[in-house]
Amino acid sequence: MTPRIFSPLVLFLVVAFLIGPFFIIVAASLSAGETLAFPPQGFSLKWVAKVFTVESFRESFAVSMFLAIGGTAMALVLGIPASYALSRYKLPFGETIRTIVSLPIIVPGIIVGLALLRYIVVPFGFNITLALLLAHTALVLPYAVRVVSASLNNLRSDIEEAAVLLGSSRAGAFFRVVMPNIRSGILAAFILGFVTSFNQVPVSLFLSGPGVRTLPIDMLSYMEITYDPSVAALSALLAFMSIGIVFLAERFLGFSRYV
């Protein structure tokens, strides 16, 4: 048995470790000084304001948004039918397929990025944006399959048969009674995929090329040249965006059920 006093202490340390960096970043971004530092020197909102004036941030934000929304949407278009097939039919090698689909979670992003670059992008002369989009689709796919499968498994399959006996076709039954009932699972998968894609570094690192960069990569290269608190300000803004999204998702969907 752990002595009682330890539990609050451990809890405090865990929370401090998890949330501490976030407070440091927020504090640093409100600094009035010229360099990224903690504790901050003075208080000002000028670095927060500067974030919105940096041209490359605006461009890479747009790229990241495009990848997060487009990649996740594509992952869902592929992932929903895949999850459906995996959960409703006894497929030969079903388990194997499930494992392969989950690989991007297990294999380090560095390896995925390198492999994509070396064996697909370079030899076939892929457009960088397209390569990034495909990579993000592949990265998000496992989450999409996992989350959508979870809500499909909670849905009895006999409602589809009931719909068919009431005159619906098989495909009609899928759209009329399956989709509406896994809607919140799909939305949850979308949010999880969006956040995953948006924060993705290693794969994007390999595939980002001249003119096309995701926001995290752009932040890295910005920091190499300019060591001012605007990166902290941007990080804080992004963190608030993620928190906002997850909060809304939890509030309206009970997001934590699916993850």
Partner 1 sequence: MSDASFLSLEKLTLAYGDTVAVKDLDLSIRKGELVAFLGPSGCGKTTTMRSIAGLLTPASGRISLDGVDITRVSANKRSVGLVFQSYALFPHLSVFENVAFGLRLKKMPANDIETRVTAGLKSVGLSKFAARKPAELSGGQQQRVALARSMVMEPKVLLLDEPLSNLDARLRLEMRTELQRVQKETGVTMIFVTHDQGEALSLADRIVVMLNGAIEQIGTPEDIYNRPVSRFVADFVGFENIFAVEGGKLKAANGPISLSESLPPDTAGLAWRPRMVTLGSGPFQGTVRGASFSGSTREYLLDTPLGAIKAEEDAGLAAHQPGTELTFDLPVAKAARLERFG
> 160 or 218: whose CB is closer to partner 1?
160
32 binds partner 1 (CB under 8 A): no
Nearest distance, CB of residue 89 and partner 1, angstroms: 13
Query: Using an 8 Å Cβ cutoff, are 150 and 185 in contact?
Result: yes
CA distance between the termini of the chain: 30
253 binds partner 1 (CB under 8 A): no
- Binding segment for partner 1 (CB under 8 A), chosen from 20-28, 172-180, 215-223, 233-241, is 172-180
R_g (Cα) of the chain, nearest Å: 22
Peptide bond into 39 cis (omega under 30): yes
159 binds partner 1 (CB under 8 A): yes
x/- mask, partner 1, residues 175-194, rule CB under 8 A, reads -xx--xx-x-----------
Nearest distance, CB of residue 45 and partner 1, angstroms: 46
> 50 or 176: whose CB is closer to partner 1?
176
Of 152, 119, 149, 151, give the one whose Cα is nearest residue 134.
Answer: 119
Cα–Cα distance, 64 to 66 (Å, whole number): 5
Cα–Cα distance, 227 to 27 (Å, whole number): 16
Token pair listed for 143: 């989450």
What part of residues 212-251 is at the interface with partner 1 (CB under 8 A)?
none
169 binds partner 1 (CB under 8 A): yes
> 206 or 258: whose CB is closer to partner 1?
258
How far, in whole angstroms, is CA 154 from its chain's centroid? 24
Q: Where do contacts with partner 1 occur on this chain (CB under 8 A)? A: 155-156, 158-159, 161-169, 172, 176-177, 180-181, 183
